Each structure stands twice: as C-alpha cells, then as structure tokens.
Structure 1
Amino acid sequence: MFDQAIINLYDSGEGIGDHIDLLRFADGIVGFNFGSPATMRLRPVVDASDRERAVRYAEELHNDCANQVIVKLQPGDVYALSGDARFHWTHGFPAFIDGATNVSGRRISVTLRKLHD
C-alpha cells in the first residue's frame, strides 16, 4: 500500500515543528520511532492561519493550546495517522517541551506514505 519511506535523523535538541503532511500524500501515514524516546505533540487545526502555519512546518509562536494531545514514544513504537488525525490535527516533535530537550540522544524516524495516483 505504501510507496514512500522517509528516514530522518534527529540529534539531541533537534525536532520538527507542528505540521500536516503534504496533501499530495494519501490518507494513512505510519511512523516508527527508533533510538531516543521522543514526545509527539498533536494540536487541532482551528482556522486558516493554523493550516497555513502547519503546511510550512512552522513552530508555534506560543505553547498554550487547550486541546493538545501529548504522546510519549519509546524506541520501537509505531504510530498511525488517518482521517481527522491526518487532516485536522497537526503533529510534531518539538525540539524543546517546557524548556527541556525533547530528544536526549539520536532519534531515527521512519515514515511510510503513499502518493496519490
């Protein structure tokens, strides 16, 4: 079903801002977390400015979000995003959470996706 595998390496203090994976990818994205544990943050897309920011992989300008969901991933954990989680929520692995480094060592992320036909 998937035709793309994207591998990213993140060192301590690195991350990726809240984003929505490009809409040229079909619904259904699977991610694998290897190496360092990491915290994934999901936030609802409320309006057009949220969507615009999410498409640019931009960090939040503030850390306040009443409806965010925090997921702590351990090495070997797998997560899947589809439906509303794929299109109406951002996800990211911020470099810092509450002033502390999110990733303490090397993290390897493998993401599987499928391009639209």
Structure 2
Amino acid sequence: MDLHRFFVKVGTADRIVTNYYQGGQIWTIRKLLKHKRLPESAIKSKIRDLPRLSEKVSRVLAAKRSGMYEMGIDWAFDKNGKLWILEVNSNHPQFHPLRKLDRTAYNRMRSFARSYGRCDA
C-alpha cells in the first residue's frame, strides 16, 4: 500500500474540530507521523492495517444499506496508539480539498463518484 495515499485532517491549535473549511489542513499521514517525530518503522506499523480495516468497514456497511458507493472513514489513534473509528460519512464525503495536495488521488476519487452518477463530482 502506498503510504502517501492516506490523508488526514489536522485542526488548528485553538479548535477541537478538524474541518478543512474551518481552518483545518489536509496532510498526508506520512507528514503527520513525521511531524510527531515517529521513526519510519513506527509510521509503517501505525498504518499497516488501515486498508484492510477500511475495506472491512465498507463491506459491512454496504451490505446493510444499498446505495453506499463511497464512504469517508474518520480514524483516530489515541494516546496509547489504539486505533478507533470516529465516524463514517456516507453522504458525499468531501474530496475536493485533495485537488491541491494530490491531483492523481483527487482525479481518481472524482472518476469513481461520476461513475455512479454523483452530480457534484
């Protein structure tokens, strides 16, 4: 798995929300974990299971409700390094902020959204 394809929302120091449109930023997970001064082995360890777990969550939810074509899964690591799901957004997760960070990822997500008829993609 290409580690730079995982994106994170980073909030401003004076807010508890990480919303991009409220002053947050979009970073790669690698940039965030390097910012936290983690060694390369720890970076790989922290995100090793994200693709498998994300797919598992997506399959379970899609089986429960038809029409769930895209999902934004918000994950968090607690202070002990345990991974938690904060929420799953299934109503048109926003990928437009990725346009400046990673045009290839943005184009791919936009293509997927258009393929099932999402008009705002």
Task: Give the TM-score taking structure 2 as reference length.
Answer: 0.26
- Identify the structure with bigger relative contact order (alpha carbons < 8 Å, sequence gap 6+): 1
Q: Whose strand fraction is larger, Structure 1's or Structure 2's?
A: 1
- Pick the structure with greater CA Rg: 2
